[in-house]
Amino acid sequence: MTFMKSTFTLTKAATFAAAITTVTATTGAAEVTLRGASLFDENHAYTKTLREFERLVGEAYDGDISFEMHLNGELGDESDFVTFLQQGVAIDYAIMAPSNMAVFAPAIPLMDMPFLFRDLDHWNTVLSSDVLKPLEDELYAKADIKVIGYAGGGTRNLASANAISNMDELTGHKMRVMGAPIQASIFSAINAAPSAIAYNEVYNAIQTGVIAGFENEAASIQNLKFYEVAPNITLTKHAITVRPVVMSGKTFRGLPEDLQAVIVEAGSTAGAFGRELESREDGEKLQQMLDAKQITVTEFEGRENLLDLVVPVQNDFAAGLGATELLEAIRAK
């Protein structure tokens, strides 16, 4: 077996994509090369999860295989990743936020809705079951992106330039949310002023006052140094991240059947590895930033009021997709 983990530095992701559009995973007797991408460096849980996926595949596959990993967002942001995966160019596997795949599969953000999970046990029970299979099937049918596992586990909170501790301070708060409409709908329901802007523009947007904050988990705030412009963390605990480990359908179908089976098994196992890792590291990273005096942490007064406001929005979103039974099945787990 061959393991080749390397990165390439290019100025523009589009230039890179155009240059390798004709390159696909090679099957048959020749070595198979699979290409991954991460927005983060080697220390982030998502990158570590993809490395574990590579290790598992490399150990289990009885053939020659190598991997190319592109780190630190060198191929663009997740919206670019989705396009590449859907088209079967540049990227073969990645970890994605469901909201960033909504352009192809409108129902997929249901698995990532704020205030969906009661706690970590509920979240892990859902992701360890097959309850989300209808969403996986829709993504595969409409976007040609195959879910092979579930990572995630960070608890998402508000990060802002100024402290927010109650409903009055939250009202009118200009904040970045992910692109799926359900994200904007839910944060509008709790009286914030959400705006969907590209992830790689968030730092500058806060710095220049275009927005006053955003929402994210501790690992990303630390990794990308968002604490420099948004040092105030408000513990809304509004989401536990669901991050599907995905593969381009075009790539997957072009692989030998024995390798397909290895990839499905490795994706599931690596996802479980990533969930344990990120959920464990989440509190540690928050504490590291606190100890370094990089952030100030504030509890949100009356968090139960937020739940009262968002449940009708969740219900309406699911009903509009014909997914009321799915939402009820998630809540019942």
Three-state helix/strand/coil letters over the chain: CCCCCCCCCCCCHHHHHHHCCCCCCCCCCCCEEEEEECCCCCCCHHHHHHHHHHHHHHHHCCCCEEEEEECCCCCCCHHHHHHHHHHCCCCCEEECCHHHHCCCCCCHHHHHCCCCCCCHHHHHHHHCCCCCHHHHHHHHHHHCEEEEEEEEEEEEEEEECCCCCCHHHHCCCEEEECCCHHHHHHHHHCCCEEEECCHHHHHHHHHCCCCCEEEECHHHHHHCCHHHCCCEEEEEEEEEEEEEEEEEHHHHHCCCHHHHHHHHHHHHHHHHHHHHHHHHHHHHHHHHHHHCCCCEEEECCCHHHHHHHHHHHHHHHHHHCCCHHHHHHHHHC
Q: Which of 27-31, 79-83, 296-300 has the lowest mean pLDDT?
A: 27-31
Q: What percent of the chain has pLDDT over 70?
A: 91
Contact (CB, 8 A) for 67 and 54: yes
Instruction: Say if 295 falls within a structural domain.
Output: yes
Torsion of CA 125, 127, 130, 133, to 10 degrees: 150
Instruction: Say if 154 falls within a structural domain.
Output: yes
Give 255-297 pLDDT, tens digit per residue. Answer: 999 999 999 999 999 999 999 999 999 999 999 999 999 999 9
Buried/exposed code over 30-50 (b: 16+ C-beta within 10 A; e: otherwise) = eebbbbbbbbbeeebbbbbbb
Q: What is the pLDDT of residue 133?
A: 96
Which structural domain range is residue 146 located in?
13-332
Instruction: Say if 8 falls within a structural domain.
Output: no
Q: Which of 3-12, 57-66, 182-191, 262-271 has the lowest mean pLDDT?
A: 3-12
Is the pLDDT confidence value at 220 over 70? Answer: yes
Instruction: Say if 286 falls within a structural domain.
Output: yes
Instruction: Say if 261 falls within a structural domain.
Output: yes
Measured CA to CA, the distance from residue 117 to residue 138 in angstroms comes to: 22
Q: What is the pLDDT of residue 9?
A: 33
The candidate with the shortest Cα–Cα distance to 28, out of 251, 264, 254, is 254
Q: Which residue has the higher pLDDT, 212 or 104?
A: 212
Give 93-104 pLDDT, tens digit per residue. Answer: 999 999 899 888
Per-residue CA distances from 205 to 76, 197, 214, 329 (Å): 18, 9, 10, 38
Instruction: Say if 297 falls within a structural domain.
Output: yes
Is the pLDDT confidence value at 22 over 70? Answer: no
Q: What is the pLDDT of residue 112?
A: 87
Q: What is the pLDDT of residue 225?
A: 96
Measured CA to CA, the distance from residue 264 to residue 60 in angstroms comes to: 11
Provide the CATH number for the domain around residue 207. 3.40.190.170
Q: What percent of the chain has pLDDT over 90?
A: 83
Give me the number of domains the chain comprises. 1
Instruction: Say if 4 falls within a structural domain.
Output: no
What global pTM score does this model have? 0.82
Give 164-175 pLDDT, tens digit per residue. Answer: 999 999 999 999
Instruction: Say if 43 falls within a structural domain.
Output: yes
